[in-house]
Structure 1
C-alpha cells in the first residue's frame, strides 16, 4: 500500500470515529506512523485530503457499476446485480459514508469549500449515474419503457438513495440479496405497468450534456492522478494521454489506446469519463 493510500484509509476511519473537524493532521500522521512533513508531501491540507478521499471513493463506485451495465448478463439478473453491487459497495465503505451521516459536516465551512470545489465533479458523476441507469433500463425493458424511462430512472435513483441510507443506519447486517430482489420486483412493476408519464423527453431531464468540459480541466485532473498513482503503466499512460490531447494534431487511435489502458485503474475512471465526454461535446 502506498503512503498516500495509507493516509486516506486512516483518515476515513478517524473522520468516521471522531468527526472531520475534531480530527487533526497530527492524529492522522500518528496513526499512520509518519511525520507531518511526509503528510504534506502528498496533501497540502486536510481539505485537500477529504477531496482526494471523495474522488477516490466515487471513482471506484463508478467503475463498479459501469462493469455491471456493460456486462453480457441479460434481463432481470443484470438489474439484480446492479442493485446488489451498489449496496455491497456502500456496505463495504460504511466508514466513509458515516462521515456524512454522523458528522453532518455539510454544515461547516470546510465542506462548503469542498462542495464548491467538487460541484463540477459531483454534477458530472450524477449525470453519469443517471445515464448508466437509463442504459440499464433500455437494455432490460426495451420498447416497454420508451415513454416512461425518464420517470423510471428517477424512481430507481430514489430507491437507491433511500435504501442506501437504510443499510447504513442498521446496527445489524442487512440481507442485500433479499433487498436487491425486492427492488427488482418493484422496478419490474413500474416498468411493465406504469402508464402515467411526467417526464416526457430528454429535455425534461438532461443527462450527460449540461457540463462543458475544458481541456485545461482535464489536464489538471490528469496531473493530480499522476502524482497519486504508484503504477508505472498508469502514470505513463496518463503522461502520453496528456501530451496527445494537448498536441496540435492529436491522434485519435493513440488517445483511445491510452483510455483503454487507463480503464483498468479506478483512480483514472474520472479521467476516462472526462475525455470521452470532452470528445463527444466537440
Structure 2
C-alpha cells in the first residue's frame, strides 16, 4: 500500500475515536509506524492531511456519480444514482460523520472552498441526469429539481449517519422512496425559482478546470504508484491518446472503465472522462 494511503487510513481511525483537534501528528506517526520526518514528506501539516482525506472521499463519490449518470440505462438511472450515494456514505460513515460534526465546530475556509468545488461537479452530474430522464420537462424547472435532489442527498445521508437505532438500514426502501419523490417533483413542479443565471452567479468562484499538462502530470504520478496490470496498461494508452489521438471513442471508454474499477484511481478516470468528452 502507498505510504500516503497508510497514513490516511490510520489518521482516519484516530480521528474517528478522538476527533481532529485531539489527534496529534505524533499519534498518527506512531500508529502508522513511521517517523515524523516521513509524515512531513507526505503532508505539510495535519490540516493538509485532513484536506487530503476530504479529497479522497469526495473524488470517489464525484467519479462514481459521474460514472452512473453517463453509463446506466435510463430505466435504472435514478435508482442507481441514489444507491451509489447512500451505500458510499454508509461504507465511509467514519469520515462522513467526522466531516459533518467537525464542520460545525470550526470555520475552515480552505475546506469550505474545497467542498464547494466538489459540490459544483455533483450539481453538473445531476443536471445531466435530469436532462436524460425528463426530456419533456420544462427547462425552467431543471435547476429547482437539481437543488431538490441535492437536498435529498444531504438530508437522508444525515439520517443514515446519525440514526440512533442499530437496525440494519433498508437501502432498497430508502432509494425507492426517493425515486418516487423525485419523479413526483419532476412531474408536478410548475413554479420555478432558480434560473440558469442564478446558477452561473453561484459558479463564479468555482475552481478552474484541470489543464492538459496538469492532467498528464497526474497520470505520470499515478503510473509510478500503480503496479503492473490492466489499470497501468490502460492509463499508459490513455496518456498516449492525449498526446497523439488515434483511438476509437469506444476503446477510450473501455480503457477509462478499466481505471474506474480501481478504487484509488477513480478521480483520474473522472478527469479523463471529462477530457475526452470535450
TM surpasses 0.5: yes
* 2:65 matched residue in structure 1: 65
Q: Using the alignment, how far apart are the partners of 1:122 and 1:274 within structure 2?
A: 17
Q: TM-score, normalised by structure 1?
A: 0.77
* 2:161 matched residue in structure 1: 168
Q: Given the superposition, is the C-alpha separation of residues 235 and 42 from structure 1 closer, same or farther in structure 2, using an over 3 Å criterion?
A: farther
- Between the two proteins, the alignment pairs up a number of residues equal to 268
Deviation of residue 152 (structure 1)?
Answer: 0.6
Task: For 1:244-259, list aligned pairs within 5 A.
Answer: 250-253=243-246, 257=252
Contact kept, 8 Å, 1:8 with 1:53, in 2: the verdict is yes
Q: Using the alignment, how far apart are the partners of 1:140 and 1:244 within structure 2?
A: 32
Asked whether 1:35 is paired with 2:35, we answer yes
Q: Given the superposition, is the C-alpha separation of residues 14 and 145 from structure 1 closer, same or farther in structure 2, using an over 3 Å criterion?
A: farther
Q: Given the superposition, is the C-alpha separation of residues 66 and 191 from structure 1 closer, same or farther in structure 2, using an over 3 Å criterion?
A: same
Q: Which moved more, 1:205-214 or 1:55-64?
A: 205-214
Asked whether 1:141 is paired with 2:129, we answer no
Q: Using the alignment, how far apart are the partners of 1:273 and 1:160 within structure 2?
A: 20
Matching residue within 192, 200, 203 for 2:187:
192
Q: Given the superposition, is the C-alpha separation of residues 49 and 244 from structure 1 closer, same or farther in structure 2, using an over 3 Å criterion?
A: farther
* 2:119 matched residue in structure 1: 126
Contact kept, 8 Å, 2:78 with 2:179, in 1: the verdict is yes
Q: What is the DSSP-based 3-state SS (H/G/I as helix, E as strand, rest coil) of the residue aligned with 2:34?
A: coil
Contact kept, 8 Å, 1:131 with 1:208, in 2: the verdict is no
Structure 2: 5+ residue stretches without partners? none
Q: What is the DSSP-based 3-state SS (H/G/I as helix, E as strand, rest coil) of the residue aligned with 2:73?
A: coil
Deviations 1:71-112 (A, max 9, x none): 34333x32122112211111111110122233337616xx43
Matching residue within 253, 267, 271 for 1:270:
267
Deviation of residue 9 (structure 1)?
Answer: 1.2
Q: Using the alignment, how far apart are the partners of 1:238 and 1:147 within structure 2?
A: 40
Deviation of residue 50 (structure 1)?
Answer: 1.8
Q: What is the DSSP-based 3-state SS (H/G/I as helix, E as strand, rest coil) of the residue aligned with 1:60?
A: helix
Q: Which moved more, 1:66-75 or 1:266-275?
A: 266-275
Q: What is the DSSP-based 3-state SS (H/G/I as helix, E as strand, rest coil) of the residue aligned with 2:135?
A: helix
Matching residue within 119, 125, 148 for 1:155:
148
Q: Using the alignment, how far apart are the partners of 2:238 and 2:74 within structure 1?
A: 34
Deviation of residue 208 (structure 1)?
Answer: 8.4
Q: Given the superposition, is the C-alpha separation of residues 259 and 204 from structure 1 closer, same or farther in structure 2, using an over 3 Å criterion?
A: same
Q: TM-score, normalised by structure 2?
A: 0.78
Deviation of residue 128 (structure 1)?
Answer: 2.1
Contact kept, 8 Å, 2:63 with 2:267, in 1: the verdict is no
RMSD after superposition: 3.4
Q: Using the alignment, how far apart are the partners of 2:45 and 2:222 within structure 1?
A: 17
* 2:52 matched residue in structure 1: 52
Task: For 1:75-86, list aligned pairs within 5 A.
Answer: 75=75, 77-86=76-85
Asked whether 1:112 is paired with 2:105, we answer no
* 2:96 matched residue in structure 1: 97
